[in-house]
Structure 1
Amino acid sequence: MELLSIGEAAKRLGVHPNRLRAWEKQGLIKPVRLPSGQRRYPVEEINRILGTGGIKAEPDAVALYARVSTKKQADAGNLERQMERLRAYAQEKGYRVVAEYSDVASGLNQNRRGLERMLKAAERGEFKKLLIEYPDRLARFGYTYLERHLKYCGVEIEITSQKEPEDAHTELVQDLLAIVTSFSARLYGARGGRKVQQGFWELIRDAEETQEGQI
């Protein structure tokens, strides 16, 4: 009996190794355990799954992800309203919501608890679509890489709205300010970073006043 490692089995099935672990817990696939405790998958078991078209989450199973940058926004109800709009969209489309994830953090922050939980669930094959209001909710930068990883996990991102909310401009300014402050502090030290930060805000105010005067 030919046995495959979890990596080899996942590659043949075209899924993430974590999905095989999830299938094992659900009793959908039966690996062989070596004396060392390592999993090995019989080729016959892999061929059985391939012959039945694979084991997939129901096509209408979706997860929701919402994010706001600050606690002030969350306290004002922005996060819950964002999630309610996603729920309404899913209901209108006839999707079955199997999980909801959210974060109160900058889109620049890669260490978000909700984002991490969502990615792990995607790797386990728990849903087929991820609903977000617009790309910046998922990530300010690096969206394409997250999209590619989710696609590898068999998950499609569905953007429910192309129109950004009114406070999106403020969030963008805050994120840009965080980047400028971080790099300035590295180049000029903490004191120099604060000076650059102050100058950055003054430039933004001048630009906004100029724009208002042209309207």
Structure 2
Amino acid sequence: MELLSIGEAAKRLGVHPNRLRAWEKQGLIKSIRLPSGQRRYPAEEINRILGTGGIKAEQDAVVLYARVSTKKQADAGNLERQMERLRAYAQEKGYRIVGEHLDVASGLNQNRRGLERVLKMAERGEFKKLLIEYPDRLARFGYAYLERHLKHCGVEIEVTSQREPVDAHTELVQDLLTIVTSFSARLYGARGGRKVRQGFRELIEDAEKAQKGEV
């Protein structure tokens, strides 16, 4: 009988070793323990799973994703409260949480570790729904492309609340400033970029004052 290490078995199945451990706990795959305590997976078990198209996530399997833009927001507890609301929503709906991922980063940042882990789990078919509080938590721009990719992976995005938090406006302004600074720096250099950023900030402040009737 051919026995495979957890790394070899995971490679054949195209999943992370941690996923194999989780499947074993759920009774979805069997392993043999060597006298040393190491796991070994019979090749027949791997072939069985491959022959049935792989182990698919159950319909109630969900992943939670939360994001705030700044460390200050995270330190104030905004990130944890966001995650707690998502947990409560999942519990109310009767969903089974198989993963929780979060980021402290701008919605413009495409290199977010938490988001990357969500996408990898989706590509491995480990869950069926992604819970987020509102679309901007997933991405400031490009939401439709992420939604399409996740749908291709068999994952549906479920937005738990259409009501944005009070600091959403501040985040949007900061993201706009980042975009303006980036483009103006390319056009006018670093010093010119800072001047344009300052001018844009003053313009936003004037607009906010006008909206409040202060001018």
Task: Indicate the TM-score class for this superposition, using the shorter chain for normalisation.
Answer: 0.7 to 0.9
Q: Which 10-residue stretch deviates more, 185-194 or 120-129?
A: 120-129
Whole-Å separation in 1 of the counterparts to 2:198 and 2:155:
42
Q: Is the 8 A contact 2:13 2:50 kept in 1?
A: no
What's the CA shift for 1:182? 0.3
- Residue 178 of structure 2: aligned partner: 178
- Bigger RCO (CA 8 Å, 6+ sep): 1
Report if aligned partners of 2:49, 2:55 keep a CA contact under 8 Å in 1: no
Q: Which residue of 1 aligns with 2:120?
A: 120
Residue 190 of structure 2 aligns to a residue in which SS?
helix
Whether 1:137 aligns to 2:141 is: no
Q: Flag structure 1 segments of 5+ consecutive residues without an equivalent.
A: 1-17, 30-43
- The aligned counterpart of 2:156 is 156
Deviation at 1:56, TM superposition (A): 2.0
Tell me if structure 1 keeps the 8 A contact 2:64–2:132. yes
TM-score, normalised to structure 2's length? 0.77
Q: 3-state SS of the aligned residue for 1:131?
A: strand
- What do residues 126-175 of structure 1 show as CA deviations (whole Å, max 9, x unaligned)? 11100000000000001111111111111110000001000000000000
Aligned length: 180
SS of the residue 1:62 aligns to: strand
- What's the TM-score once normalised by structure 1's chain length? 0.77
Alpha-carbon offset, residue 23 of structure 1: 9.5
Matched, 1:21 2:9: no
State the partner residue of 1:105: 105
Q: How does 1:64-83 map to 2 (within 5 A)?
A: 64-83=64-83
Alpha carbons of structure 1 residues 149 and 199: separation in structure 2 relative to 1, 3 Å? same
Offset, 1:65: 0.1
Q: Does 1:194 align with 2:197?
A: no
Write the distance in 2 (CA, Å) between the matches of 1:22 and 1:151. Answer: 19
- Name the CA distance, whole Å, in 2 between partners of 1:133 and 1:91: 15
How far 1:19 sits from its partner (Å)? Answer: 10
**One-letter code aligned to 1:93:** K
Shift of 1:55: 4.0
Q: Deviations over 1:166-213 (max 9, x none)?
A: 000000000000000000000000010000000001100110110000
1:49 correspondence with 2:52: yes
Q: How far, CA to CA, are the matches of 2:150 and 2:188 in structure 1?
A: 39
The alignment partner of 1:101 has SS state of strand
RMSD over aligned Cα atoms = 2.5
Code of the aligned partner of 1:154: G
Once the two structures are TM-superposed, the CA of residue 47 in structure 1 deviates from its matched residue by 9.9
* 3-state SS, counterpart of residue 130 of structure 2: strand
Structure 1's 108 and 19: CA in aligned 2 closer, same or farther, altered over 3 A? farther
The CA deviation string for residues 32-51 of structure 1, in whole angstroms up to 9 with x for no partner, is xxxxxxxxxxxx9799536x
Quick check: 116-125 or 176-185, which moved more?
Answer: 116-125
Does the CA contact (< 8 Å) of 1:19 and 1:123 recur in 2? no
CA distance in 1, matches of 2:49, 2:84: 41
**Is the alpha carbon distance of 1:84 and 1:23 closer, same or farther for their aligned partners in structure 2, counting shifts above 3 Å?**
closer
Q: List runs of 5+ in structure 2 lacking aligned partners.
A: 1-10, 30-46
| Distance in 1 of aligned mates of 2:113 and 2:120 | 11
